[in-house]
């Protein structure tokens, strides 16, 4: 979401640093932990943040979540310490293809290349030199689309260029110690043939999971039995071998000097094992944040194979990209449901935090999620309309014409709407898409029951008698008073508002009625009340 409005004035460096020291926002907590671990020995060498990507499939919403959260910690660390940093987005593209994805063309061709590194397999889309290169390009395009500041790293390039050679020799020297760490985690069959090294067969190009029968630390070679039973000696360097992934992760941390990397809860054991191996390699493992995994709307773990997840493109169809970053910010260590239905609530929480930001002191600004979403410079949006109210405006108008809806917004918000035009029109477009796909199909109006008509008539009378310039709060009071005066029909105000939503908007839930009436207009609202009191439904009737 872009804006030409000026954000709230930035604090002086001294005030900002003092606030950062006191902030309890989780990126600052992480940044302080990292700074403490690195100590006071600041050097010119940038602090290295890393995110990993398995390119056997296309980038997904979890990829976005890990990169945007890491970016938030990186920015907090920079504010806190002033030290230079780098973010490395690393692709494990030398991994072997173990299974053909369901969402790609030419699956039969891919099946012929099972077991080979992703960067050695032809691109099923026919666009790049390999399947790994295709997915790497998709990853870079994905990250560039969101404006992330990062460097890209390729496992294949690092292995083949010799960048990992010195650390691979160190792994060979520590072979027995590393094996002792891993073996207790394996089943009997896998334990019998386990080796940290996976040779790449010079004949078939396959990454082999085979037993190593001899090692020569000085020569930097291993001997293994290939798939035909022949003994083959190969260097562990230069891309002739790769490491099993837990050892590979640890080797990468050690070789590159990674200081910080996040991982999902399902990788807790892997993080612990990789950290132990990293220490065996005489290196310090990075600081890790373990984040919780997403659940679907039924509370079940999201799985790519089950297809119960939510794509980034789905979110961006119905809401601005900043709101997805806002969702990722909130409680990373708590399992959260991730589904289309929570988008309106998330957008309005984001807007509410934008509204609150200018009036907050510096510490509370740094505790506000929008500070982290916008890297310390949230845009000024004091008059931005709520998403829920826009959805109900679309529902009441029965239109998907942005210009019609914009007319209502300008009539109510005036100059404030004009100043926020780019933002509001973007929100209108998102609200129209959400209404069309999820609200319209469920929208069912009902006519009032006889006992309810007196309350609706009283509401019409109260609105007609209100001052011409009555505010949303004053109109809300009128609605409240009518509901309370008809407690014999509506035992609670909740029952009264539900009836209004069902009759006027065709749904069980809705906005503050005062805000809706102010935006939609009293004359239009009175016309709606006149129609329903005359027995004319405002839309499709409920199913019998």
pLDDT at 509 over 90: no
Burial grade of 513 (CB within 10 A; 0-12, 13-18, 19 or more): buried
- pLDDT-derived band at 54, boundaries 50, 70, 90: confident
Could you tell me which residue, 513 or 3, shows the higher pLDDT?
513
The secondary element (H helix, E strand) that includes residue 202 is none
What is residue 2's predicted lDDT score, i.e. its pLDDT? Answer: 39
In three-state secondary structure terms, 198 is strand
At residue 310, does pLDDT exceed 50? yes
Mapping DSSP onto H, E and C, the string for 138-157 reads HHHHHHHHCCCCCEEEEHHH
CA distances from 122 to 90, 108, 127 (A): 21, 12, 9
Query: Is residue 73 over pLDDT 80?
Result: yes
For residues 456 and 226, the model is more confident at 456
pLDDT of amino acid 455 = 97
Distance CA(321)–CA(143), nearest Å, equals 12
Angstrom distance (rounded) from CA 541 to CA 544: 9
What the block records as the tokens of 485 is 């005066």
pLDDT band of 494, cuts 50, 70, 90: very high
pLDDT at 358 over 80: yes
- Strand runs labelled E in 54-190: 85-91, 151-154
Q: How confident is the model at residue 382 (pLDDT cuts 50, 70, 90)?
A: low
**pLDDT averaged over every residue in the chain:** 91
Cβ atoms within 10 Å of 381's Cβ, excluding its own: 23
**Residue 39: helix, strand or coil by DSSP?**
coil
How big is the CA angle at 340 (ends 377 and 332), to the nearest 5 degrees? 50
pLDDT at 105: 92
pLDDT at 295: 85
In this predicted structure, what is the pLDDT of residue 324?
Answer: 95
* Cα distance between residue 82 and residue 72, in whole Å: 15
For tokens 């980038």, what's the residue? 59
Give the pLDDT band of residue 395 (cuts 50, 70, 90): confident
Q: How confident is the model at residue 326 (pLDDT cuts 50, 70, 90)?
A: very high
Q: Which fold has domain 450-533?
A: Arc Repressor Mutant, subunit A (1.10.10)
pLDDT band at residue 367 under the 50/70/90 scheme: very high
Collect all residues with Cβ–Cβ distance below 8 Å to 187 and sequence separation of at least 6: none
How far, in Å, CA of 456 to CA of 442, rounded?
24
List the single range of 59-73, 222-236, 371-385 with lowest mean pLDDT.
Answer: 371-385
Q: Are 105 and 46 in contact (CB under 8 A)?
A: no
User: Would you state the torsion angle of the CA atoms of residues 533, 537, 541, 544, taken in this order, to the nearest 10 degrees?
Assistant: 40
pLDDT-derived band of residue 4, with 50, 70 and 90 as boundaries? very low
Q: How far apart are CA 252 and CA 227, in angstroms?
A: 28
Is the pLDDT at 10 greater than 80? The verdict is: no
Rounded distance between C-alpha atoms, residue 56 and residue 251, angstroms: 21
pLDDT at res. 304: 57
pLDDT of res. 306: 58
Q: How does pLDDT run across 474-491, given as a tens digit for each residue?
A: 999 999 999 999 999 999
Torsion-angle region of residue 228: left (phi > 0), alpha (psi -120 to 50) or beta?
alpha
What is the C-alpha separation between 177 and 164, in angstroms, rounded? 19
Residue 418 is predicted with a pLDDT of 84
From 3.40.50.300, 3.30.110.70, 3.40.50.620, 3.30.1330.30, which CATH number describes the 13-181+244-292 domain? 3.40.50.620
Prediction pTM value:
0.90
CA distances from 46 to 130, 394, 499 (A): 32, 50, 61
Question: Quick one: pLDDT band at residue 213, thresholds 50, 70, 90?
Answer: very high
CA distance 419 to 72: 29
Q: Is 225 helix (H, G, I), strand (E, B) or coil?
A: strand
pLDDT, residue 305, reads 52
As a whole number of angstroms, the distance between CA 38 and CA 15 comes to: 24
Please tell me the predicted confidence (pLDDT) of residue 5: 45
**Average pLDDT rounded to a whole number, residues 226-242:** 94
Q: What is the pLDDT of residues 118-174, one digit of tens each?
A: 999 999 999 999 999 999 999 999 999 999 999 999 999 999 999 999 999 999 999
């Amino acid at each position: 979401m872009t804006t030409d409005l000026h954000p709230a004035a930035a604090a002086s460096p001294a005030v900002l640093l003092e606030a950062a020291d006191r902030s309890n926002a989780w990126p600052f907590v992480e940044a302080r932990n990292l700074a403490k671990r690195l100590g006071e020995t600041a050097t010119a060498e940038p602090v290295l943040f890393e995110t990993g990507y398995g390119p056997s499939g296309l980038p997904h919403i979890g990829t976005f979540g890990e990169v945007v959260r890491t970016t938030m910690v990186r920015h907090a660390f920079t504010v806190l310490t002033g030290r230079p940093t780098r973010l490395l987005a690393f692709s494990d593209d030398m991994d072997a293809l173990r299974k053909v994805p369901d969402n790609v063309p030419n699956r039969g061709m891919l099946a012929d290349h099972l077991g080979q590194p992703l960067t050695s397999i032809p691109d099923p889309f026919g666009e790049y030199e390999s399947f790994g290169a295709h997915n790497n390009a998709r990853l870079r395009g994905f990250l560039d689309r969101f404006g992330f500041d990062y460097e890209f790293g390729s496992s294949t390039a690092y292995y083949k260029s010799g960048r990992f050679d010195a650390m691979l020799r160190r792994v060979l020297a520590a072979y027995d110690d590393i094996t002792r760490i891993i073996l207790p985690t394996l089943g009997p069959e896998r334990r019998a043939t386990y080796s940290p090294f996976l040779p790449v067969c010079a004949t078939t190009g396959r990454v082999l999971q085979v037993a190593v029968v001899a090692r020569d630390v000085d020569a930097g070679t291993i001997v293994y039995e290939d798939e035909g039973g022949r003994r083959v000696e190969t260097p562990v360097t230069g891309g002739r071998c790769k490491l099993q992934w837990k050892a590979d992760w640890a080797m990468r941390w050690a070789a590159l000097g990674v200081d910080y990397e996040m991982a999902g809860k399902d990788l807790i054991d892997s993080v612990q094992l990789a950290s132990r191996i990293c220490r065996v390699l005489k290196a310090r493992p990075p600081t890790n944040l373990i984040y919780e995994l997403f659940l679907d709307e039924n509370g079940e773990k999201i799985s790519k194979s089950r297809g119960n997840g939510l794509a980034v493109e789905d979110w961006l169809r119905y809401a601005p990209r900043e709101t997805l970053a806002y969702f990722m910010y909130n409680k990373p260590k708590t399992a959260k449901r991730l589904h289309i239905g929570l988008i309106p609530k998330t957008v309005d929480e984001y807007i509410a935090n934008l509204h609150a930001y200018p009036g907050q002191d510096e510490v509370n600004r740094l505790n506000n999620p929008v500070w982290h979403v916008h890297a310390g410079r949230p845009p000024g949006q004091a008059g931005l309309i709520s998403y829920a109210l826009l959805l109900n405006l679309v529902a009441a108008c029965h239109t998907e014409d942005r210009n019609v809806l914009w007319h209502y917004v300008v009539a109510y918000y005036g100059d404030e709407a004009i100043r926020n035009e780019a933002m509001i029109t973007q929100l209108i477009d998102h609200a129209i898409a959400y209404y069309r796909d999820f609200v319209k199909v469920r929208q069912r109006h009902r006519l009032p029951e006889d006992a309810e008509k007196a309350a609706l008539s009283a509401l019409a009378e109260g609105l007609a008698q209100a001052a011409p310039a009555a505010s949303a709060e004053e109109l809300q009071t009128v609605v409240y008073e009518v509901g309370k005066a008809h407690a014999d029909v509506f035992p609670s105000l909740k029952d009264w508002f539900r009836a209004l939503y069902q009759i006027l908007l065709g749904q069980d839930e809705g906005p503050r009625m005062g805000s809706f009436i102010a935006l939609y207009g009293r004359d239009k609202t009175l016309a709606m009340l006149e129609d329903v009191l005359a027995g004319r439904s405002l839309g499709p009737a409920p199913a019998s």
